[in-house]
A and B are shown apart, each in its own frame.
Chain A
Amino acid sequence: MKKVLFIAFTLLMTASAVSVSAQNKDRRKSFNSWDNYEITTEKVGVDGTKFVKVWGYGRTVDKAVMAAKENAVHACIFRGLPGNASAMSTPPICPNPDTLVSHEDYFQNFFAAGGPYLAYVNMTTDGVPSGTDCRKVKGGYKVAIYVQVMYDNLKHKLEADGIARKLSSGF
């Protein structure tokens, strides 16, 4: 009986250790991945803007806020915005999945720290991210902020820079 118990205990511990290790690996991956963020449309924004709630990860709250701002602009360009009960979904400005790779240098500069992307995003959170919108996670913080993206301006900029196709270019 002791043997059986010992084997069961060993199996249990091994399974737990493997599970925790896998979770840690997954978490590290998700922490570093740019595609791992959640974004929801809050309401229909005022003309030319999108009003969204977006999450970001970072080692500090400030870094997580900056990541969330980047994510909001990234979503508008590459991912599109989901709809909700009061707002239609918004397609991405650059629907071609290869755009990021083909214009890597441009976007490296665009999304650099303090880069041009900041001109297209306004944080509308009252103060700092608060309550359940600011969570300590392993390795840092996960925060949600309310953001107003200057969608039309962003689109015009990418069109002017030759990154996005103008609506008229197909005709």
Chain B
Amino acid sequence: MDSKIKFTVTLALLLPVLAGAQAKVKEVVTSDYNRNSISFIAVQRGDVYDSDVLAAVKAYNPGEKFDLNKIATETIQVSRSRAVSSQSPTYNYIIPTDVISSAVREKSLDKEILTYIFGRDSQGFMNDKLIRYRGNYDAKDQDVINARASRVGIEALGDAGHGLVSHSYVVVVDPYSLQKKVDDKGKVTWSASTKAYAYKLGLSAEQLNEFYDKCWIYEEDDDATKTAKRQAFIDFPPLMEQAAVVSASGSSSDPKKAIYNSLSDIVTHLENQLSDWEVAVTIAAKKPLRAKIGTKEGLRNGARYRAYSYREDEAGNLISVPRGYLRATEISDNSGMASGETEPSKFYQISGMANIEEGWTIKQSNDLKFGVMAGVKFGGICPGASLAIDMDLLMNVNTNGTMSYVLLGGAFDLKTASGVSAVNFGIGYGYAFHLSRFIELMPYISLINDYVGPVSSGTSSTASFMSKSALALEPGFRASVNVAYPLQLFGKVCFDWLTPLRGNTYELWNNSANHGSRLGFQAGVKWTF
């Protein structure tokens, strides 16, 4: 019993200490973002797709956000079949990460990156031209203002490039599944599933200084020193560290394009995994919200960012407090060197109880800009209740809070006779207004295909399906309310007009379903992904 009491008392006394320790390890989001450099390498499996994979990887440009390290190695040979096994018809064998990692180590990619960055020639001489260029290009307005106020002046801005060496990445790309599909009409679709293995040049400031001391050859060095420094470069310890593994997929009518399309998703997925890649900056002004990022950081309309403010707790620990989301609206072209007066991009706040303030940090928080809604619809084409699943894809956001959506939707009639199936699905366009960030009002119009027929055996042809279908138009109005972003409640009112464009047997089957033109109401929940 005594031991139990002791344990309880000890635990009670330790709890505040443990809680304090927990608070301290919580990561603080900061606005320290610096440019990253990147090299793409294709895995060659020794099969017929190798040339397509290499062509797609060579053609891929990750955009202005990254500097490219043009290293000599473009491929890594890993002779593993894409077939899962010799008996299996499935071609999606994923190479284990350790196999890729050992191939990366064998290639000495770290030395290749350093050779490129420092322009190392065959004699082992290096220069800092690229380093200084990148340092200047990465400089922010505050850096420029600071440089002007200091004796070293803006000439010293390039020095910051030394800190960017450790922001070098290699992404090894392996489309492990590349499949061709031909539909009934002979249309060919290639789909690629690609695995990407990201490695970072793990070079600390101390190691970089050691590198300069041991490997940097000066003209005045004697021959023995030069030889020793060349050898020191070769002997410099391996620096590539595995940073993340992600996968993505893409499709196209062309295999190269399918791989290429999967690569763009890979960069997005890596951004979600690698904190270095997530752009962070502070709000420079409000009404409208503005921040000094733009094309240079790969910013696009609709890109989602999350805002943070800072506070200190009682113990003086710094805590970043999430304060809501915002989306980029007008993107400034900030390519080129910072001048101290960079034109900011504009944003619109989409969530959060507090208004985002000047000075708060905003950090990239990628999403699919894709909302899924589930609800019940009363009326409309169907006379009674129907189960409705809708989706909307955000196409454009304006600084005044107006947004364009492409809409997709489907509804299943819950009151049909036995053996009869009644479903409708549509595509539409909506233009939303925001009374505030909490309330979105959206007039929209959709074109709906309404099907009424027998419960499908799954073998009916397109012609048979169309004969039991009718076209309808649905003008309507949707109102959404932010509950706890990304969760929203929504309500819709619409008028479904069943057009005279109806299949031959639609009317016959519709006698029991009684679909027609009428007013409809819908309510449900929306989640944005």
A 59-90 binary contact with B (CB < 8 Å = 1; else 0): 00100000000000000000000000010000
In B1-20, which residues have CB < 8 Å from any A CB? Answer: 1, 4-5, 8-9, 12-13, 16
Interface size class of A (residues with CB under 8 A): 35 or more
- Considering the chains assembled together, what is the distance between the CA atoms of A27 and B316 in angstroms? 10
Contacts of B141 in A (CB 8 A): 126
Are B12 and A124 in contact, with the CB atoms below 8 A?
no
Are A125 and B142 in contact, with the CB atoms below 8 A?
yes
In B160-176, which residues have CB < 8 Å from any A CB? Answer: none
Query: Which chain B residue shows the least CB distance to A135?
Result: B310
- Considering the chains assembled together, what is the distance between the CA atoms of A125 and B5 in angstroms? 57
A40 within 8 A of B: no
Partner of A44, one of B152, B283, B358: B152
B185 within 8 A of A: no
In B237-254, which residues have CB < 8 Å from any A CB? Answer: none
Are A132 and B318 in contact, with the CB atoms below 8 A?
yes
Are B284 and A127 in contact, with the CB atoms below 8 A?
yes
Contacts of B16 in A (CB 8 A): 12, 16
Are A12 and B359 in contact, with the CB atoms below 8 A?
no
Contacts of B28 in A (CB 8 A): 132
A43 within 8 A of B: yes
In A2-24, which residues have CB < 8 Å from any B CB? Answer: 4-5, 8-9, 12, 16, 20, 23-24
Contacts of A12 in B (CB 8 A): 12-13, 16
Are B13 and A134 in contact, with the CB atoms below 8 A?
no
Taking A20-B314, A142-B312 as contacts, is the C-beta distance between A126 and B145 under 8 angstroms? yes
Partner of B358, one of A51, A128, A138: A128
Are B359 and A146 in contact, with the CB atoms below 8 A?
no
In B306-322, which residues have CB < 8 Å from any A CB? Answer: 309-312, 314-315, 318
Are B310 and A134 in contact, with the CB atoms below 8 A?
yes
Are B282 and A136 in contact, with the CB atoms below 8 A?
no
Are A44 and B150 in contact, with the CB atoms below 8 A?
yes
- Min C-beta distance of A83 to chain B, whole Å: 14
Contacts of A131 in B (CB 8 A): 30-31, 282, 310, 359, 361
Contacts of B283 in A (CB 8 A): 130
B 275-312 binary contact with A (CB < 8 Å = 1; else 0): 00000001111000000000000000000000001111
A92 within 8 A of B: no
In A134-161, which residues have CB < 8 Å from any B CB? Answer: 134-138, 142, 146, 148
Are B1 and A1 in contact, with the CB atoms below 8 A?
yes
Are A23 and B359 in contact, with the CB atoms below 8 A?
no
Interface size class of B (residues with CB under 8 A): 35 or more
Are B361 and A46 in contact, with the CB atoms below 8 A?
no
Are B12 and A46 in contact, with the CB atoms below 8 A?
no
Query: Which chain B residue shows the least CB distance to A61?
Result: B359
In A25-55, which residues have CB < 8 Å from any B CB? Answer: 27, 42-47, 49, 51
- Give the interface SS of chain A, mostly helix, strand, loop or mixed: mixed
B151 within 8 A of A: yes
In B330-380, which residues have CB < 8 Å from any A CB? Answer: 340, 358-361
Partner of A43, one of B13, B152, B282, B315: B152
Contacts of A124 in B (CB 8 A): 145-146, 148-149
- Min C-beta distance of A133 to chain B, whole Å: 8
- Min C-beta distance of A80 to chain B, whole Å: 19
- Min C-beta distance of A141 to chain B, whole Å: 10
Are A130 and B311 in contact, with the CB atoms below 8 A?
no
Taking A4-B5, A132-B30, A132-B318 as contacts, is the C-beta distance between A146 and B311 under 8 angstroms? no
Taking A8-B12, A9-B12, A45-B151 as contacts, is the C-beta distance between A132 and B314 under 8 angstroms? no
Are A46 and B146 in contact, with the CB atoms below 8 A?
no
In B62-107, which residues have CB < 8 Å from any A CB? Answer: none
- Considering the chains assembled together, what is the distance between the CA atoms of A44 and B146 in angstroms? 10
- Considering the chains assembled together, what is the distance between the CA atoms of A25 and B309 in angstroms? 25
Task: Count chain B CB atoms within 10 A of each CB in A9, A23, A132, A146 and give the residue with the most.
Answer: A132
Are B149 and A148 in contact, with the CB atoms below 8 A?
yes
- Min C-beta distance of B380 to chain A, whole Å: 50
Are A128 and B312 in contact, with the CB atoms below 8 A?
no
- Min C-beta distance of A84 to chain B, whole Å: 12
- Min C-beta distance of B65 to chain A, whole Å: 20
Contacts of A46 in B (CB 8 A): 149-151
Are A42 and B150 in contact, with the CB atoms below 8 A?
yes
Contacts of B284 in A (CB 8 A): 126-127, 130
- Considering the chains assembled together, what is the distance between the CA atoms of A142 and B310 in angstroms? 10
Are A146 and B149 in contact, with the CB atoms below 8 A?
yes
- Considering the chains assembled together, what is the distance between the CA atoms of A24 and B121 in angstroms? 62
- Considering the chains assembled together, what is the distance between the CA atoms of A107 and B360 in angstroms? 35
- Considering the chains assembled together, what is the distance between the CA atoms of A46 and B148 in angstroms? 8
Are A49 and B149 in contact, with the CB atoms below 8 A?
yes
Task: Count chain A CB atoms within 10 A of each CB in B28, B152, B282, B284 and give the residue with the most.
Answer: B282
B 122-141 binary contact with A (CB < 8 Å = 1; else 0): 00000000000000000011
Contacts of B285 in A (CB 8 A): 127
Contacts of B9 in A (CB 8 A): 4-5, 8
Contacts of B5 in A (CB 8 A): 1, 4-5
Q: A20-B314, A134-B309 are in contact. List 4 more A-B contacts (CB 8 A).
A: A12-B12, A44-B151, A126-B284, A131-B359
Can you list 6 A-B pairs, Cβ within 8 angstroms, ordered by A?
Answer: A44-B150, A47-B151, A51-B150, A131-B359, A132-B310, A133-B359
Q: Report B's interface with A, CB cutoff 8 A.
A: 1, 4-5, 8-9, 12-13, 16, 28, 30-31, 140-142, 145-146, 148-152, 282-285, 309-312, 314-315, 318, 340, 358-361
Q: List 8 tightest A-B contacts by C-beta distance, closest first.
A: A43-B150, A130-B282, A130-B359, A131-B31, A136-B311, A126-B142, A44-B151, A8-B9
